[in-house]
Amino acid sequence: MIVGGCDLGSTTGKAAIMIDDKIYCGDIIPATTKPALTATMAMDSALKKAGLKSIDEIEYIIGTGYGRQKVPFASEDISEISCHGKGAYWALQSVRTIIDIGGQDCKAIAISDKGVVTQFEMNERCAAGTGRFFQVMAKVLTCGLEGIGSVSNISDNPVSISNQCSVFAESEVITLINDEKSIPDIITGINQSVAKRVVSLVRRVGIHDDVTLTGGCSKNLGLKKALENLLGTTIKPLPVDPQSIGAIGAAVFAKEKLLAKRAKELEVSSKE
C-alpha cells in the first residue's frame, strides 16, 4: 500500500510517502507564491526519496497545513493539528503533549494513549511565539536563523525581552544592540521570550510526558533548552525529521482512510 501526505505550511512545503509501514520524507521546500507549485515540488522530492516514478503510484493522499485545501493531488484535507498528533504518535507512541511551532502558528496539542487529539491551543493571530518572530529577529541581528538556533549562542546571562509583539520586540532588540549587549545574551533572551509565550499555551492543555517538539522551530536548540527549563521536563526527540511530522501524520491518516474505504467497498460487494 502506497499513501502520501502533503503539509503546505505558511513558510515551507513538506511531503511524506508511506510504503507499507516505511516513511520517506521529501526535502523541506521554501513556500513559493503558488501553493500548488510548492505542493508539487515537495511531493516530487518525496517521490524521489521513495524511489517512485510517478505520483499516480500513490493510492491516497491527504493535504494538511495552512494551504491544505490547495494541495492539487490530495483526496481530502485534515487540519495540521490532527496531523501533528497523528504523526508524532506514529513516530513515538509515548508522546502525550506536542508543541508545534511553525512559521506563523504555534500549537500545543494533547493526545490520548491511543494517539487521538483530545485538546489543543493555538496562538492568537499575531506572530509572537512563531517562526516569523525568529525571522524578524535574525534579520535585525544579522545572524540568520542558524545563529538564533545555535547551541553556541546559549548564554547564562540572557536579557529580558518584555514585548510580545514582534514589531515592538524588534525595536526592543535594536535598543539592546545599541546598548552593546552581547549577541548570545540577546539571542537567549529572544528564545526565552518565545518559550514563555509557548509554555502558557501548553499549560492550557496540560503538560503530560512525553513532550515533543515539532515544526520548523524544533530545530532551534536555544528555544528547545528554554522550553525544557520552563516546562521542567525534557523534550523527547523524534526518530524522524520533526519538521515533517505534519506530512507524516497526513500519510498515516491516508493509510487509515484507504483501509476504511477498502473495508467499506468489501462490505458492499459481499452484500451484492
Partner 1 sequence: MKSGIKSEVYDKLAGIAGNVSNSEIENWQKQGGKIVGYFCPFIPEEIIIAGGFLPYKVRGTGSSDTSEADEYFDTKNCSFVRHCFNHALLGKFDFLDAMIVGTGCDHTRRIFDNWQVAPLKTKLVYLLDHPRTMGTEGMEETIISYYRAQLAKMKEYLENNFGVEITVPKLRNAIKLCNETRLFQKKLYELRKVENPPITAAEMASVLMAGASIPKEQYNEYLKTLLKDLSSVQGVKKDYQARLMIIGPAIEDPLFYSLFEENGGEIVIDDTCFGARYSMKSFIDEEAEDPLHAIAKYNVSDVPFCPKINGSHKNRIEFIDKMMKEYKVDGIIGQGYVACDPWGSSFGMLSAHMKDAGIPYLRLEREYISTETGQLSTRIQAFIETIGGRK
Q: Which residues bind partner 1 (CB under 8 A)?
A: 66, 78-82, 105, 116-120, 122, 124-125, 204
Which residue reads 536548540 in cell numbers? 221
Q: Name the minimum Å distance from CB 123 to partner 1.
A: 8
Q: Give the Cβ contact number of residue 8 at 10 Å.
A: 29
What's the min distance (Å) between Cβ of 53 and partner 1?
A: 33
Q: Which residues pair with 122 in a beta bridge?
A: 107
Distance in Å, CB of 112 to partner 1, minimum: 9
Distance of closest approach, residue 206 Cβ to partner 1, in angstroms: 9
Judged by CB, which is closer to partner 1: 79, or 182?
79
CA dist 251 to 57, 89, 236, Å? 14, 13, 22
Three cell numbers at 41? 515540488
Contact 102, 220 (CB under 8 A): no
d(CA 118, CA 85): 10
- Least separation in angstroms between CB 95 and partner 1: 16
Q: Where is 15: in which H helix or E strand?
A: strand 12-19
Q: For residue 236, what is the DSSP state?
A: P
Q: Which is nearer to partner 1, 187 or 258 (CB)?
A: 258
Query: Which is nearer to partner 1, 10 or 150 (by Cβ)?
Result: 10
Smallest distance, partner 1 to C-beta of residue 121, A: 8
Burial class (CB in 10 A: 0-12, 13-18, 19+), 37: middle
CA distance 30 to 27: 10
Cβ closest to partner 1, residue 24 vs residue 253: 253
Which CB sits closer to partner 1, 118 or 162?
118
